[in-house]
């Protein structure tokens, strides 16, 4: 659950727990929100304090609700993507090497050993 606090009519703040979401996930989440807001991010203990300052106009209730929903959804989705990326880093490298290496230049035995292990 993400809690948003309205600092003033143009600024919203939230705290994101680093134990749950790592910096990669938080950065990617904020990236997709940075077209509408100037984003200030500071570290505080295990958390990330993030301030969203509107480029134009002021926040209304609908926008606060929408922002909260987007942050929550993006954090979950980017965390899922991050797990996929981390868990499949090696297999992706193997796939690309196999795809582009000349057959004679690439020996498979290391893969077989690793796979058995």
Partner 1 sequence: MDYSLLPFRFERIEDSEIIVNEVGDFLICPTGTSKNIVERNIKEEDSIYKDLIANHIISIATIPALIDNLAARYRTKKAFLDSFTVLHIFVMTIRCNQNCIYCQASSRTSDQVNYDISIETLNYAIDLMFQSPSPHLTMEFQGGEPTIAFEKLKYAIEKTEEINIKKNKIITYVLCTNSVSFSDEILDLCLKYKILISTSLDGPEFIHNQNRGKSDSYQKVVQGINIARDKLGFDKISALMTTSNYSLDYPKEIIDSYIENNFSNIFIRALNPYGLAQNNDNWEKYNHSFIEFYKTALDYIIDINKRGIYFEESFTTLILKKILTPFSTGFVDLQSPAGLINSVIVYNYDGCVYASDESRMLAEHNDFTFRLGTVKDKYNDIFYGEKSLEIANTWANEALAGCSDCAYQTYCGADPVRNYTTQNNMNGFRPTSLFCKKNKAIIEHVFLLLITRNEEVMPVFKNWLNKN
DSSP class of 56: S
Q: Considering beta carbons, is residue 7 or 101 the nearer one to partner 1?
A: 101
Q: Does 100 help bind partner 1 (rule: CB under 8 A)?
A: yes
Q: Does 77 help bind partner 1 (rule: CB under 8 A)?
A: yes
The least distance separating partner 1 from the CB of residue 9, rounded to whole angstroms, comes to: 23
Q: Does 58 help bind partner 1 (rule: CB under 8 A)?
A: no
Q: Does 87 help bind partner 1 (rule: CB under 8 A)?
A: yes
Q: Considering beta carbons, is residue 32 or 40 the nearer one to partner 1?
A: 32
Alpha-carbon distance of 28 to 45, in angstroms, equals: 21
Residue 18: closest CA among 42, 55, 38, 48: 48
| Cβ proximity of 50 and 16 under 8 Å | yes
DSSP string, 63-99: HHHHHHHHHHHHHHHHHHHHHHHHHTHHHHHHHHHHH
Positions touching partner 1 (CB under 8 A) are: 28, 31-35, 73, 76-78, 80-81, 83-85, 87-88, 91-92, 94-96, 98-100, 111, 114-115
């Amino acid at each position: 659950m993400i809690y948003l606090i309205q600092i003033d009519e143009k600024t919203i703040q939230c705290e994101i727990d680093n134990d749950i979401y790592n910096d990669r996930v938080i950065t990617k989440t904020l990236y997709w929100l940075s077209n509408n807001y100037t984003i200030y991010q500071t570290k505080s203990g295990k958390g990330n304090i993030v301030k969203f300052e509107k480029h134009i106009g002021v926040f209304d209730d609908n926008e606060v609700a929408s922002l909260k929903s987007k942050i929550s959804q993006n954090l979950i989705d980017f965390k899922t993507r991050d797990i996929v990326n981390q868990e499949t880093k090696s297999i992706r490298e193997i796939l690309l090497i196999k795809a582009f290496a000349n057959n004679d230049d690439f020996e498979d035995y290391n893969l077989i050993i690793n796979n058995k292990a």
